[in-house]
Amino acid sequence: MEELQQIGRTYAIWRKRKLSYFAGCDYFRLASHPAVMAAVKDGLGQFGLNVAASRLTTGHHALYARLESALAEFFAAPAAVVTGNGYSANLIAAQALREEVSHVLIDARAHASLRDAARYFACPVLEFKHRDANDLARRLGRLRGRIKPLVLTDGLFPHDGEIAPLKEYARILPARGWIMVDDAHAAGVIGASGKGTAEYTGAPRERLVQTVTLSKAFGVYGGAILCGRRLRANILRRSAMFAGSTPLPLPLANAALKAIEVLRRDPGLRCRLSQNVNYLKSALRSRGLAVPATPAPVVSLVPRNAAEAGLIRRSLLARGVLPSFIRYPGGPAGGSFRFAVSSEHSREQLDDLLTGLNFALCRRRRRHILKGV
Ligand SMILES: Cc1ncc(COP(=O)(O)O)c(C=O)c1O
């Protein structure tokens, strides 16, 4: 692990150099938004840091109920449950769904938190090909009896920004099936009003469980499960993790409420993000690259070998851009350069990134080296 200090919203100090920062997932830079930061301070002053008790004992506070209403409203879901973070949102939802499900079908590249969540089920867990509705249909077709399958998938896959075809999954799912979508990267970002993958793909909300993090588009910390009222009641009744853990610190709940308000009230944020995404992707496309025309603010570049990785790295550093090379579970085994665009990056920074990548693009010409969505 290497130390890195984010500064000035879109920069980072790395090895004593100030570089443009196109990594991470703070897509609107709300982590450094003045109103969101002020809400942390206000929350701390008003409520203290920690309720130091489970919500099911003496740790329930009015702020959690307010945050859940705001989240349910933002995502147009019947109900919401706030969780300690996005990872535990998947585990908690799984604990509550355990008795409702006969088979689990999980995308081959699902996030680690969904894989962990799958362990809570006492039924068969089957893998289907990455984002492949036909393969899912085939596997569902082989199951016999009155099945109640649960599909587990990311909405927007974080390593390359590909999007799960949720509407197709919903279409082929039997009536008593469920879809649980980990929308950590899609929530607040994609869909006409930022509701995430279901909104973007046009999938219905019925029998859909959406888990989100509050640490990416919302820039704060924490997580949530957006679901029906019955599942919410089952979470409170059946999830040992929900029952046995301390909830999100109140200053963060206060900040999350503010972040939701900022995202709702300032359409400029989503507008600037989409402008930046379009600018970067169309520039890459104009250099002959097959960059799919979808709104994910993520582009990834898989180097062909260590020598090429070194060259790309030097080329980016020469333009003052952090060479964000990561190995991410579910992503390419050897790692990839992952660039995340935010609403706050300037045109100059985008141009620096493009110039830094130019070298690699020229060398490879029209080959599909960039897989972004
Ligand atoms: C797809 C996905 N799901 C869940 C999580 C976990 O969210 P959190 O960091 O809030 O625990 C992450 C990453 O952080 C993620 O990328």
338 lines ligand 1 (CB under 6 A): no
Question: Is the pLDDT reported for residue 227 higher than 90?
Answer: yes
22 lines ligand 1 (CB under 6 A): no
Q: Which CATH class is domain 34-265?
A: alpha beta
Three-class SS state of 96? helix
Query: What pLDDT, in 10s, does the model give residues 200-213?
Result: 999 999 999 999 99
Torsions phi, psi for 16 (to 5 deg): 70, 10
Atom of ligand 1 nearest to the CA of 111: 1
Minimal-distance CA residue to ligand 1 atom 7? 86
pLDDT at site 334: 86
What is the reported pTM?
A: 0.95
Minimal-distance CA residue to ligand 1 atom 15? 184
pLDDT at site 362: 74
Q: What is the whole-number distance in angstroms between the Cα of residue 64 and the centre of ligand 1?
A: 20
87 lines ligand 1 (CB under 6 A): yes
Provide the 8-state DSSP code for 31: G
32 lines ligand 1 (CB under 6 A): no
Three-class SS state of 167? helix
Q: Rounded to 10 degrees, what is the CA torsion of 234, 236, 239, 244?
A: -170
Q: What is the whole-number distance in angstroms between the Cα of residue 86 and the centre of ligand 1?
A: 5
Residue 67: HSE in the Cβ half-sphere, 13 Å Cα cutoff: 30
Q: Do the domains at 5-32+266-372 and 34-265 have one common CATH topology?
A: no
Tell which one of 30, 83, 87, 338 to mutate to probe ligand 1, the residue whose CB is within 8 A of the most ligand atoms: 87
Torsions phi, psi for 122 (to 5 deg): -95, 20
- Domain ranges in the chain are 5-32+266-372, 34-265
Range 5-32+266-372 has CATH code 3.90.1150.10? yes
Distance CA 5, CA 15 (A): 10
Two tokens, residue 148: 């109640």
Handedness of CA 311, 312, 314, 319 (dihedral sign): positive
Torsions phi, psi for 302 (to 5 deg): -100, 110
Query: What pLDDT, in 10s, does the model give residues 309-346?
Result: 999 999 999 999 999 999 877 778 889 999 999 999 99
Distance CA 245, CA 70 (A): 22
Q: What is the whole-number distance in angstroms between the Cα of residue 218 and the centre of ligand 1?
A: 13
